[in-house]
Chain A
Amino acid sequence: MMSTSQLKVKVHDMCLRDGMHPKQHQISLEQMHSIATGLDEAGVDYIEVTHGDGLGGASINYGFPAFSDEQYLRHVIPALKNTKVSVLLIPGIGTVEDLQIAYECGIHTVRVATLCTEADVSEQHIKRAQELKLDTVGFLMMAHMIDPAGLAEQGKKMEGYGANCIYCTDSAGYMLPEDVTASISALRRVLRPETEIGFHGHHNLALGVTNSIVAVQAGATRIDGSAAGLGAGAGNTPLEAFVAVCKRMQIATNVDLYKIMDVAEERVLPIMDRQIRLDRDSLLIGYTGVYSTFLLFAQRAAAKYGVSSRDILAEMGRRKTVGGQEDLIEEVALELQQAQRNLVDA
């Protein structure tokens, strides 16, 4: 293991993108401005500002946002001094036209996200991002669904299309520290030395900080988290805690610990509809490896159809669903309701 004192890491805050999930995409422009400028003052390197499901996510399936991505980006970007703004783009949901609009708003980074086994659908978007000279990240989601060698192979494809940074994205918060070490190390072995590696965690097994630290030790130089953990499921890696641990371990970051603590406490916590915590549904998500964003969808469908949200989530896991399949949740709830009725009738 590398001595951590030579390590340096850039942090990427997810409050205004992954945090859109628990906010049901209803963050106001004022709230965006307040959080974004707070993160800027705290020294956070990057923030992501997009619909929770990326550009083009505005839909019945994922939820219509309070404002368009363009409105959010135009409101936030000019207000920042140092922090760079990224957008998420999931091919199949968002398109290169959406990327063009975001580009015109002045974004610095685009993160092109695919399921960890499907990197080749990102080719046209990564190539376009390269033509636009954007900082281009390949974001391999649900990374627990593939072995480290497989992940490395997919990352290599994205690097080949032109991505300058590859992420191991633990969308389900399922990965154990040893899995993260193996996956990041496998990426580090095959990618060019100048290609950066990132890790995106969810706190569904309370491993967000630990996994992020072992990722850094294995060679990751960009870490995602969010102030106060505002994100899907039990939230993202709580950024203020990650920064504090980095300080203790002498891993260098550009973030001021007290300032990020204050952003979490004073600007993010107050906008939460309910406190982000490791409730039983989030824990089940982490335990079984389900897409974190399914949490609220399952809870709403459970309430509507009188079934258990845990049963819905477990069934989504059994069916080997992947990110984006929110549309199946209502159908599963209906099936569970019918199964319950059949039991009563029998």
Chain B
Amino acid sequence: MKINCALIGSGNIGTDLMYKALRSDWLNPVWMIGVDPDSDGLAKAHAAGLKATHEGLDAALPHFKADAIRIAFDATSAYVHAENSRKTLAQSVFMIDLTPAAIGPFCVPPVNLEQHMQSQTANVNMVSCGGQATIPIVAAVSQVQPVAYAEIIATVASKSAGPGTRKNIDEFTRTTALGLERVGGAKKGKAIIILNPAEPPLLMRDTVHCLTEGEPDEARITASIKAMVAQVQRYVPGYKLKQNPVFDGKRVSVFLEVAGLGDYLPKYAGNLDIMTAAALQTGEMFAQRLLEGTLSFPSVRTEAA
């Protein structure tokens, strides 16, 4: 038994997510929804046996009931997400938002997915690529002792930064910083993103700096970080610590590298892969709980705040 889902957005992210979902034990991707008849993603979806439309969400929506769609992934853009979310929530479909719209609360699976299950949240947002890679580390430090300040530097291959990211790069810095605070637990967050055009393209790198309140408990923080890395590796096998955490006064620094699985996106695009992998992980948890009967669609607050 699997839960049927729809993928909105047939670009790189949506298509990569489709390949991951096709391997899932819990999810059955039924619809791929795009707006461009020449989209490679739609052709791939069609070839994989999904129902595919290039006429947008409105063309697929009337079929959601009959196709028993319970979960939708939105990989379009922040501009259209609000509308997509409103329409799918009205059909009692859970929404996993991969755009920067962030209508719903942030979801970083190893940190707060369980919490969203408990509170039966209908729309969750996947923050940003840098957020998915770094917030777990900040949370791992926060779990040991308070973090006064967290700062992350994400370096990604130029080729993996699409036009949407480039047009609104401030959204990355703003959203990621907020995620470091809200989900990572830092009192103040700051995010920096660097694009590197080197050929062959480099793997995603992330540096996480935390300033702890009081002297950092080196042994416990190191153990907590390593346990967290192992958790992320369950859904992103190419996620790894490059060095043991470095301690310098109250500063804790962690150097990470993220290789993707190379489903549809190239392996160097670990930044995109960690988004699709985290979204899939979230979708699978929704599916699992729906199948167990421990999760039902929230009846009162369809307009997630």
Contacts and interface: CB of A to CB of B under 8 A. Distances in A.
A60 B151 contact: yes
B194 A325 contact: yes
Interface string B141-178: 00000000101010100100101001111101110000
A68 interface: no
A319 B170 CA distance: 27
Interface string A123-153: 1110000000000000000000100000000
B255 A331 contact: yes
Given A61-B151, A117-B158, A327-B153, A124 B242 contact: no
Given A322-B194, A324-B192, A121 B246 contact: no
A92 B211 contact: no
A120 B167 CA distance: 7
A123 B174 contact: no
A115 to B, nearest CB: 7
Interface stretch (B195-203, B215-223, B287-295): B195-203
Size bracket, chain B contacts: 20 to 34
Contact of A321 (B196, B209, B251, B255): B196
A59 interface: yes
A274 B297 CA distance: 66
Given A118-B158, A124-B167, A331-B242, A61 B196 contact: no
A96 interface: yes
A325 B190 CA distance: 16
Contact of A328 (B190, B205, B211, B251): B205
Given A118-B158, A124-B168, A61 B192 contact: yes
A115 B195 contact: yes
A41 interface: no
Nearest to A334: B243
A156 B268 CA distance: 29
Contacts of A327: 153, 155, 205, 207, 255
Contacts of B194: 92, 322-325
Contacts of B151: 59-61
A91 B169 contact: yes
Contacts of A249: none
Nearest to A323: B194
Contacts of B209: 60-61
Interface in B207-264: 207, 209, 211, 242-243, 246, 251, 253, 255
Contacts of A96: 170
A134 B174 CA distance: 24
Contacts of A324: 153, 155, 192, 194
Contacts of B242: 331
Nearest to B168: A124
A330 interface: yes
Given A59-B151, A61-B209, A120 B246 contact: no
A125 to B, nearest CB: 8
B246 A95 contact: no
Contacts of A60: 149, 151, 209, 211, 251
A248 interface: no
A127 B170 CA distance: 13
B173 A95 contact: yes
A321 B168 CA distance: 23
Given A60-B151, A324-B192, A334-B243, A124 B158 contact: no
Contacts of A341: none
B35 interface: no
Contacts of A91: 169-170
Given A95-B170, A123-B166, A327-B207, A115 B197 contact: yes
Given A92-B172, A117-B158, 15 more contacts: A56-B173, A60-B149, A60-B211, A91-B170, A95-B173, A115-B197, A118-B195, A120-B166, A121-B166, A121-B169, A121-B195, A321-B196, A325-B196, A331-B207, A334-B243
Interface of B: 149, 151, 153, 155, 158, 161, 163, 166-170, 172-174, 190, 192-198, 202, 205, 207, 209, 211, 242-243, 246, 251, 253, 255
30 contacts: A59-B192, A60-B209, A60-B211, A61-B151, A61-B209, A92-B169, A93-B173, A115-B196, A118-B166, A118-B195, A118-B197, A120-B163, A120-B167, A121-B161, A121-B169, A123-B166, A123-B167, A124-B168, A124-B169, A319-B198, A319-B202, A320-B202, A324-B192, A325-B153, A327-B153, A327-B207, A327-B255, A328-B155, A330-B253, A334-B243
Query: When A and B form their complex, which 6 residue pairs have the shortest distance between CB atoms, in order from nearest?
Result: A320-B198, A327-B207, A60-B209, A324-B194, A95-B170, A92-B193
